Structure 1
Amino acid sequence: MSGQLRDVASELAGLLWREHTVYRDRAGGVVIRGEHVQRWISLASGGGRDEVLVRAGRILEGGTTAPARTEAVVHLSAGTGALATVCRRLLSETAATPTAPPRGGGRGGGGRRTPRGRAVSRGRHTSPASWVVVAAVVAVVGLYVATVAGWI
């Protein structure tokens, strides 16, 4: 079944998107990623012999995938065209569902985030405390040079 899934997924990917990536997931299913549309489709063997569980979801900022938002079971005997129709419906439902607002973090709430979810700082790069440390280091080095030179 997994070899058949890979063949079906490759053909389906060509019908859905011009730009796509097809790969096998850990569970033995096949995933089709459309980076340019920020969506993914997953095909896994369903309960029956000729059935495929199709899931659709979003690709989040940073390239990680969100959990599936919609899913359906399709018979492979229906053909790739019918499978593509179901996938398009699932993708449109995925696009229509609202996303959760970005989690607020730090000052000012949202803002840009790194792929691991940390807020990207804006504004000042060096804090006043850092300038105090730099000034103290310069003073200690200056005092050392003055004592070695015999000025003090």
Structure 2
Amino acid sequence: MSAQLREAASELAGVLWREHTVYRERSGGVVIRGEHVKRWISLAPAGGRDEILLRAGRILDGGTTAPARSEAVMPLSVGTAELAAACRRLLAETAAEAAVADAAGPAATPRGAGRKAAARPRRQNKPARSGGKGRHTGVGSWVVLLCLAGVVAYHFWSIGATP
């Protein structure tokens, strides 16, 4: 099955993209990467005997791959043209979903999907405070300040620096 997948992936890669990289996954599947279109296709054995699982996804900035956006199960016995048609459909779905996510902005992108925590924008619209009096020092802060003043006073008293 692995040899059949590798052969089918090589033929499929030539049909889909001029520039591509084909490599084997640890799980026994084969991945076709199209760096110039920022997309990838994965062919992996499916539950059936002659079936393969086709998955498509995006390649993010920096070369990392996003999780699969769409997938389909096809028989391996179909020709390269049918596999290419199914892959083009999956790639079109992936591109459409990526365009919707990009248009919606970073809030629509799931957490951890290629963004670093430092790159997340800060929340701009904070809810208004009740009471409208503005900021003031809370009771807990006053307690801490009084304790600190007591420690400083005790220190000066213990060294004999009282007036």
Taking structure 2 as the reference length, the TM-score comes to: 0.62
2:5 paired with 1:5: yes
3-state SS of paired residue (1:26)? coil
Q: Distance in 2 between matches of 1:25 and 1:51?
A: 17
Q: Which residue of 1 aligns with 2:82?
A: 82
Q: How far off is 1:47 after superposition?
A: 1.1
Q: How far off is 1:40 after superposition?
A: 0.2
- For residues 37-63 of structure 1, what are the alpha-carbon distances to aligned partners after superposition, in whole Å with 9 as ceiling and x for unaligned? 000000001111110100000000110
Q: How far off is 1:102 after superposition?
A: 3.5
Q: Which residue of 2 aligns with 1:147?
A: none
Taking structure 1 as the reference length, the TM-score comes to: 0.67
3-state SS of paired residue (1:65)? coil
Q: Distance in 1 between matches of 2:115 and 2:61?
A: 10
Q: Which of 102, 106, 124 lines up with 1:102 in the alignment?
A: 106
Q: CA RMSD in A?
A: 1.8
Q: Distance in 2 between matches of 1:21 and 1:118?
A: 30
Q: Distance in 2 between matches of 1:20 and 1:102?
A: 29
2:53 paired with 1:49: no
Bigger Rg, structure 1 or 2: 2
Q: How far off is 1:117 after superposition?
A: 3.0
Q: Which residue of 1 aligns with 2:116?
A: 117
Structure 2 spans left out of the alignment, 5+ residues: 108-113, 120-163
AA in 1 matched with 2:85: T
Q: Distance in 2 between matches of 1:116 and 1:77?
A: 40
AA in 2 matched with 1:102: P
Q: How far off is 1:25 after superposition?
A: 1.1
- How many residues are treated as equivalent by the alignment? 109
AA in 1 matched with 2:56: A
Identity of aligned residues (%): 72
Q: Distance in 2 between matches of 1:90 and 1:41?
A: 9
Q: How far off is 1:116 after superposition?
A: 7.9
Q: Which residue of 2 aligns with 1:31?
A: 31
Structure 1 spans left out of the alignment, 5+ residues: 104-114, 121-152
- For residues 101-127 of structure 1, what are the alpha-carbon distances to aligned partners after superposition, in whole Å with 9 as ceiling and x for unaligned? 337xxxxxxxxxxx883758xxxxxxx
Q: How far off is 1:6 after superposition?
A: 0.4
Q: Distance in 1 between matches of 2:15 and 2:116?
A: 34
